[in-house]
Chain A
Amino acid sequence: MSAPAAAPARTLPPVLRHPGVLFGLAVLLVVLVAALAAPWLGTVDPIQLRPRLRLRPPSGAAWFGTDAFGRDVYSRVVYGARVSLAIGAAVALTAVVLGLAIGLVAGYIRWLDTVVMRVMDGVMAIPSILLAIALVTLSGAGVLTVIVAITIPEIPRVARLVRGVVLSVREEPYVEAAIGAGTRLPLLLWRHVLPNTIAPLIVQGTYVCASAILTEAILSFLGAGIPTEVPSWGNVMAEGRQAFQLAPWVILFPGLCVAATVLAVNILGDGLRDALDPRIARRVGALR
């Protein structure tokens, strides 16, 4: 918004001074760089089949070992980061944007509220995994289908959050003062209501992102996700399932990556929540 523009230049924004935020961002940055620079990180073609090198344990040639088709697990994990991160980011972004729009409308326009929120309740009642399996069955497996399938059940959660914020902010005297000053509804929402939703939305967005990465892994593991020619952490693990006792590395390394990334995103979210919540931030500030 326009507000921070007036603030003088600072060394480091206070949000970035929070250890959780720093740690989460650092881990995510490492994963992101690895995903983008995958071809230059000693990887081979992640879908190249090498029947003679099946289920080899980790070694100097294949750092994370090979899977049942002789494909290099290290390369598959590094390339798989692209899919997992893309899905996490895409789902978070879409769910937040759509949820924000729905929540703003429901929170501010009284007569729409009941209708919209009952529809949202209905959407929330559908188990997300089942919905995803149904969608994949209908329209075929693919990254886009998986993104849509994971996004839909997340929208009501964001919408509820935004609606809650709007309901409390619309009672603030400064919003009434703006109404009294003749500010029309779209501008009123943009100027006085929307900025209040940004901090909780960033936090919610990180949680949505973490849960999307996990859900993608689950869907792929169940065989309802991304097809295996596009490596993702989920389907690499899924393929390691049959040979788990012989070759645990096929599941172990992508599993560690999922765990580390989801943990980093969650810690980032917690950190942002603490740093952006004025009540908590003030308490931390008072302690200094």
Chain B
Amino acid sequence: MSAPVLAIRDLTIPLPRLSDRAHAVEGLSLMVAPGEILCVVGESGSGKSVTAHAVMGLLPPVLKPSRGEILLQGEDVVKASPARLRALRGGRMAMVFQEPMTALNPVLQVGAQIDEILEAHADRLSGSERRARVLALMRDVHLPDPERMAGAYPHQLSGGQRQRVMIAMALANDPALIIADEPTTALDVTTQAQILRLMRELQARRDAGILFITHDFGVVAEIADRVAVMKGGRLVEEGTAAAVLRSPRDPYTRMLIAAVPSATPPPPRPRPAATAPVLNTRALEKTYGGGLFSRAGRTVRALDGVTLTLQPGETLGIVGESGSGKSTLARCVARFVDPTGGEIRLDGTDIAPLSGRALHPYRRRVQVIFQDPYRSLNPRRTVGQAITEGPRNYGLPREEAFERARRLLDLVGLDASALDRFPHEFSGGQRQRIAIARALAMEPALLIADEAVSALDVSVQAQVLDLFESVRERLNLAILFITHDLRVAARLCDRLIVMLNGQVVEEGETAAVFAAPRHAYTRALFAAAPGAHRVEADPPAASGAAGS
């Protein structure tokens, strides 16, 4: 193997005093060879992003490496002056960020943003040469019609196209090292698959080393040559992708890999015989725009004739990508927004036309668990106040409401002492448990989980999914489970609905949909699911995952 592009030796970065641990990164040693993709995997707080930022010299001033070196082609980045770092960034190393919308300047045309990188570093190029190079780069990352697209602003592009622009910017000066910090986490699965394919292709064509930060072992299986697993700032395991995925040595790695939901649904569980449905919607519609002041014709059909039925004790998965209307469906059923057409029958009563006082008695029957556990609990109110708010709104005396809250905290696996504490004292997974307890306190007939596990680390995700399962068994709840992740849907749902552009394109028993998807879009979703290829690569001496 030739000399490494990046060599991190014994890197230690202390955290400020009063942090939850002493070091963000401790004694870390890593190497990236030319033309190699090293995936750094870890959950939140593992130090993987701090490592990436340290290599780029982008650490906030409070974080300073206290020991070790970061050698970029033999040059120590830790000791480099700010001017030297500026020259190295964008020149010899480049970074692709997680959120392409915020990483691009919204008021500059994307062509100009790529050009800026060239201008800053390759000063020998003339204007027309740079222009040609910008277009060539945009072609390299497969942006359609580069001449036209160079004049577009970031908001005119899709998420995937924006990330392609980011990658073109990273490639602009042929860097030796590309750092990709969760570059596909904010993207839809099908887009994610395209971006991963693009990075593989570019890496094969150019000789750059890639440091790829991710939390998702599915993505690792797709793209990594080698894997480094981090936990609490330390390296716990390192090896070739094939070796780590097939026979992980460290228990933490094993736990992470096991926590990735399998892409094959478990055998269908026995369900109670069909009775009166809890929820059934008929031709539900929601159109945005078209108000008094909006321009004629500027309307968006977020929901277009959605009909579904949900029995007590049943879990119905709604799967789709962003913009498919799945969240609008949840918000209509929970009546946070008013549907523009159709029926929502809850226990037989149509609640779609109701509002205000007439709706009040039905609200308690439908409860929602939101995606972001950090924003779904009021930071100023104690857990006890949060859980008892709903029952007390419906007239339950304070003592009984708190008694119920204690029982529910026990059910979701938290101590009763949590009642007097504030949300910020809990981790993301614990907060999601609190949110579940709050929803259950209303004794609902229908629970809507709107991407309820998407913001959680995989290991925590697995625990919260377990909790959903046990709650469903004990309380015979109907659950509307909204997710973009087929693997999660497979794990929990009895039936699946696949949505695209506000319409239901496929519906069926989970096992049946997984075994034989009928609609082309469903098949595309399956093909794009990260780690889908791992299953084939797993058996003897396969080279699929680590190959090329």
Contacts and interface: CB of A to CB of B under 8 A. Distances in A.
B256 to A, nearest CB: 28
B372 interface: yes
B438 interface: yes
B394 interface: yes
A173 B375 contact: yes
Interface residues of B, number: 33
B368 interface: yes
B372 A173 contact: yes
Contact of B368 (A172, A180, A183, A286): A180
Chain A binding surface, main DSSP class: helix
Given A177-B370, A180-B368, A172 B375 contact: yes
A3 B62 CA distance: 31
Contacts, number: 72
A180 B381 contact: no
A176 B435 CA distance: 12
B319 to A, nearest CB: 21
Contacts of B393: 181-184
A172 to B, nearest CB: 6
B351 to A, nearest CB: 13
A181 B336 CA distance: 11
B382 A183 contact: no
Contacts of B18: 288
A286 B435 CA distance: 29
A6 B420 contact: yes
A192 B390 contact: no
A184 B376 CA distance: 18
Nearest to A198: B380
B375 A182 contact: no
Given A3-B380, A3-B422, A173-B372, A179 B62 contact: no
A174 interface: yes
Interface stretch (B120-128, B262-270, B359-367, B522-530): B359-367
A182 B363 contact: yes
A174 B390 contact: no
Interface in B240-270: none
A117 to B, nearest CB: 14
B211 interface: no
A3 B385 CA distance: 10
A276 interface: no
A191 B393 CA distance: 13
B16 A288 contact: yes
Interface in B383-425: 385, 389-390, 393-394, 420, 422
A278 B435 CA distance: 23
Of A176, A180, A184, A191, most B-chain CB atoms within 10 Å: A180
B445 interface: no
Interface string A256-288: 000000000000000000000000000000111
Contact of B390 (A2, A172, A173, A182): A182
A181 B390 contact: yes
B394 A177 contact: no
A288 B17 contact: yes
B378 interface: yes
Contacts of A1: 380
B334 interface: yes
B442 interface: yes
Given A180-B336, A181-B363, A181-B393, A174 B16 contact: no
B378 to A, nearest CB: 4
A142 B309 CA distance: 71
A178 to B, nearest CB: 7
B336 A179 contact: yes
B408 to A, nearest CB: 14
A286 B371 CA distance: 28
A286 B16 contact: yes
Contacts of A192: 378
A195 interface: yes
Contact of B378 (A6, A174, A182, A286): A174
Interface in B140-156: none
B490 to A, nearest CB: 26
A192 B375 CA distance: 12
A1 B435 CA distance: 22
A195 B334 CA distance: 26
Interface string B497-528: 00000000000000000000000000000000
B349 to A, nearest CB: 16
Contact of A176 (B370, B380, B385, B422): B370
A191 B375 contact: no
Contacts of B366: 180
A271 B394 CA distance: 43
Given A195-B380, A286-B16, A178 B422 contact: no
B375 A180 contact: no
A254 B109 CA distance: 55
B442 A177 contact: no
B189 interface: no
B63 to A, nearest CB: 10
Contacts of B394: 182
Interface in B334-375: 334, 336, 360, 363-364, 366-368, 370-372, 375
Contacts of A182: 360, 363-364, 390, 393-394, 442
Contacts of A173: 370-372, 375-376
Contact of A177 (B62, B368, B380): B368
B165 interface: no
Given A176-B336, A177-B376, A6 B382 contact: yes
A288 B36 CA distance: 40
B62 A174 contact: no
A175 B360 CA distance: 16
B421 to A, nearest CB: 8
Nearest to B421: A6
A180 B334 contact: yes
B62 A287 contact: yes
B52 interface: no
A8 to B, nearest CB: 12
A173 B376 CA distance: 5
Of A174, A176, A178, most B-chain CB atoms within 10 Å: A174
B303 interface: no
Contacts of A288: 16-18
Given A3-B422, A173-B376, A180 B363 contact: yes
Q: Which 3 A-B pairs have the closest CB atoms?
A: A181-B390, A173-B376, A173-B370
Given A184-B393, A195-B380, 10 more contacts: A6-B382, A6-B422, A173-B372, A178-B378, A181-B363, A181-B442, A182-B442, A191-B389, A192-B378, A287-B16
Interface of A: 1-3, 6, 172-174, 176-184, 191-192, 195, 286-288
6 contacts: A180-B368, A181-B389, A182-B360, A182-B393, A191-B389, A192-B378
